[in-house]
Chains A and B, each alone.
Chain A
């Protein structure tokens, strides 16, 4: 006479996950882990980027004061215009940084006390430059911000998407987010060579548009490769 307990034990011990299933699951777990790593890297990048904006903002404040103090003593109008130029191109980070370098002499003319004073004013306040909002809280940490945050998230989403689709070396040249309040548009420009990775029937592209559209709830997603429409 067989007992339920014995029979169950016998049958249960014969049930085992296959090696193939375990290997597949391990690969999935690894992919999931690396995806989390991508997100974590994106966060770190965001903080780093935001910190660089803080530095640029602080430098601009110094230059403003520097310009104001040196203007009366300016030798020519041309010098004064050069010194004021960075304020007009402040949105373009790279151009601005070049301008900062050009105005190093102005910056050097400031005393250490004045510099400390300006930094103190910057702390705890929100500084607004076009679409970029940078907040420095009292403990010195950077709190990231709207458009920048969205852009870094897009980087992470694209990296995860590329990994899922087996695409390597997908480089994003620029991300532009246009939020008018009523609608949200995203323009992503990929580096040269991205178009060669795409399939003929456009399925990969459609998948990316959908992924981004779903993620951002965007009204329009424009994808270009080195400035050329895909």
Chain B
């Protein structure tokens, strides 16, 4: 890795190196589109530079980045343009390129469920942690996770039988 961003107050290079995969996977989990995931990825790390927060630990650092990513995903998709683009134009095109059958199953999940599913399975977070991050009640998160799991299991069973 290059040591371009050495700054006594801001370990930008280190943060990028440590958390690039976490941020990108979370962004990709929600949009399942490389271009959108890359936009979100860049914006999250730029926000880190602009905010220049002080972290007490690496866990704190990671939690901050996940929270910023979740918040920015909401903003990103709150614009009418993005909603329109994803729901009506590019999604079928994307599906055509998806090779992995499980990815197709994830694409079939409601968009609102994807972040929570990723935080649960991908980041191994507890329901309580997820609820705090996404600003929903624990029950609401639990219900969504249960529904998502049922949908995915059903799809997997169908896939295995085929």
Contacts and interface: CB of A to CB of B under 8 A. Distances in A.
A11 B106 contact: yes
A203 interface: no
Contact of A4 (B25, B49, B156, B160): B156
A29 B20 CA distance: 13
SS of B interface (majority): helix
Given A2-B160, A12-B122, A29 B46 contact: yes
Interface of A: 1-5, 7-12, 14-17, 21-22, 24-26, 28-30, 32-33, 36
A28 B38 contact: no
B121 A32 contact: no
B49 A33 contact: yes
Interface residues of B, number: 38
B13 to A, nearest CB: 7
Question: Which of A1, A8, A12, A17 gathers most chain B CB within 10 Å?
Answer: A17
- Interface majority SS (helix, strand, loop, mixed), chain A: helix
A9 B28 CA distance: 14
Given A11-B106, A26-B13, A32-B49, A4 B153 contact: yes
Contacts of A16: 21, 24-25
15 contacts: A7-B152, A9-B122, A14-B100, A15-B24, A16-B24, A22-B16, A22-B20, A25-B16, A28-B42, A28-B45, A29-B16, A29-B45, A30-B12, A32-B49, A33-B7
Contacts of B23: 17
A157 B153 CA distance: 55
Interface in B128-158: 149, 152-153, 156-157
B21 A25 contact: no
A17 B156 contact: no
Contacts of A30: 4-5, 12
Contact of B12 (A3, A11, A33): A33
B25 A5 contact: no
B10 interface: yes
Contact of B149 (A4, A17, A24, A36): A4
Contacts of B122: 8-9, 12
A15 B27 CA distance: 11
B12 A29 contact: yes
Given A17-B41, A26-B13, A9 B121 contact: yes
Contacts of A25: 16, 20, 41-42, 45-46
A33 B121 CA distance: 35
A22 to B, nearest CB: 6
